[in-house]
Chains A and B, each alone.
Chain A
Amino acid sequence: MNSTFAEISADTPRSAAAPAARPPGTVLLTLLRRELWEHRYLWVGPLCVAILLALCAVIGQVHLDLRDLSQLASEGSKVALLTIVQWALSATFSVLALFIVSNYALDCLYAERKDRSILFWKSLPVSDGLTVGAKLLMALVVVPLGVFAISMLASLVFFAIVSVRTAVGSIPSIMTWNTLEWLRTELAMLLILLLALLWYAPLVAYLMVVSAWARRRPFLLSTLPWVLAPILERIAFGTHYLWSFLRYRSNGIFATLAAGHTHIFSRHHGLRPVGTLLEDLDFRGAFSDIDLWLGLAAAAALVYAATRIRRYRDDT
């Protein structure tokens, strides 16, 4: 009897009170924080651009070079110009986000192997699936939506500064603030962003696979095949299927989106606010595009592959 009791107590883990695992939410949040510590350009870059744009608003000058100034006489045209400038500001952030996200996706699983810190990360009870998942979440959700939020704020600050300068006569009055149109334009941009994220998810997943797999030069490894293969196909078979595929995967969904008439400027209507794109663009058609969802299935398979590669990639 005594011995049985002793055996049981000896075999009981000493920290029976300690939880078996931290809550998944806490772990995920910690993993995301790690990404922001490690890849500081993810948030430093967008903030720098936001500050630069605000500076532009403060010191920038307006040069009007329109043949027909009457175009800007109407209040509607002034609102339209506001949304076009708003669009241009957002485009700056979109290009930045494109560079940041693709650079990050290509680096996020490579960097930790290059500096051998993967041995430290793997010494802690975090699964490869959760680690890769956190990195994917960072690339496809946190960074794009974070940059979008920053771009919204930057847009507000930009127009606030412009309004003040217009009011004191520092620049001519060419734009009129219109909260509804501003919101409509932001919504249109958000929807396009969501569509782009879904469309480019397989690309991000592909870059992560290369990142998990490459022993060196992940950039070359990820791009070179896609440059060489279409050329070889052209030489060998005289066809250009790969080239067409690449072109389709790079902008195909936007052709679907813009299937309707989408002229912001027309002879009959003059300038129209960008927010009207909400009605013109075929979001329903684009979001239900079968190729979009097939791409997502491919992305899921690629993310699974990246997880498996990280599990056993042994080059430390």
Chain B
Amino acid sequence: MTAVIEARDLTKSYGATRALDGVSFSVEPGRIVGLIGPNGAGKTTALKAILGLTPFGGELRVLGLDPRTQRDELMRDVCFMADVAVLPRWLRVSQALAFCEGVHPRFDRSIAQAFLRKTDIHLASRVRQLSKGMVTQLHLALIMAIDARLLVLDEPTLGLDLLYRRKFYDTLVNDYFDKERTILLTTHQVEEVENLFTDVIFINRGRVALASAVEDLGGRYQQLTLSAEAAPRGRALQPFYERELFGRVAMFFEGRSAAELGALGELRTPSIADLFVAKMQGTANT
């Protein structure tokens, strides 16, 4: 099967800053991909390029289409949701449903209504009367009702409390996601959603720092926790990042075998959040 997103050497500058500096990656169908990076790393710019919202350099195919020239066609199969504040405040819930139904060939109003019935949202309410969490639920209801192949989410749960965040991702994974759909997601709250991802792409200062399937991370990266006395022996094996924790040292290695490291201390596959910090700090030091 062909890739859902195929990006090669994407570039984009805002004045002197290079928001995208030769970004290449590909996303296969049926995956949930986390696009992770610090503030200003170029995540949102990459998403905007994928959605045809901004001009850029390089080669990019999304669902086989060029977002620069075939955006209108592309948006029939792509859904996206930027952070919560993009539904206009004057819009009524019923109007949101009517609008989507009027313009989107794959919007099924009954699905959205069934979803909304499970919430406290009334059809006559305006967006300005809803809480932040409810606005996100409304947007999610609209997205669930669209039979799209690629869903792009940019910090979808920013500013929501834990309950709404949990509910949001549960709905997404249990009721929306399936083998034919692909989700591309950026978030700051990596710890909370890292179990969701099948793939991660780390992006830093406009470059891809790491792109991998989550199941392959274990083979590539090791986190070794060892006592301060054993630390020099660990350092000899050239960890790309280390940090001290309660008198013990956590070291992060790439491409070392378990046999090499296992004897020195406690070995495990790093969490995505830890690996992210290690990668970002590690590259910042070099």
Contacts and interface: CB of A to CB of B under 8 A. Distances in A.
B284 interface: no
A220 interface: no
Interface stretch (A11-19, A71-79, A90-98, A152-160): A11-19
A20 B104 CA distance: 9
Interface stretch (A33-41, A172-180, A210-218, A296-304): A33-41
Category for how many chain A residues contact B: 35 or more
Contacts of A316: 82
A22 interface: yes
A125 B72 contact: yes
B18 interface: no
A14 B106 CA distance: 11
A115 B135 CA distance: 15
A30 B92 contact: no
B180 interface: yes
Contact of B100 (A18, A116, A124): A124
A56 interface: no
A18 B105 contact: yes
Contacts of B100: 124
A128 to B, nearest CB: 8
Contacts of B54: 312, 314
Contacts of B80: 119, 123
Contacts of A244: none
Contact of B104 (A22, A37, A122): A22
A42 B127 CA distance: 21
B31 to A, nearest CB: 15
Interface residues of B, number: 38
Q: Give the interface centre of A22, A26, A27, A120 by most chain B CB atoms within 10 Å.
A: A120
Contact of A29 (B79, B95, B102): B102
A125 B105 contact: yes
Interface stretch (B83-91, B116-124, B183-191): B83-91
Contacts of B104: 22, 124-125
A31 interface: yes
A112 B73 CA distance: 22
B82 A119 contact: yes
A117 interface: yes
A15 B147 contact: yes
A166 interface: no
B16 interface: no
A117 B103 contact: no
Interface in B57-94: 71-73, 75-77, 79-82, 85-92
Interface in B179-218: 180
13 contacts: A13-B149, A15-B147, A22-B105, A26-B102, A31-B103, A37-B90, A116-B86, A123-B75, A124-B103, A125-B72, A125-B76, A312-B53, A312-B55
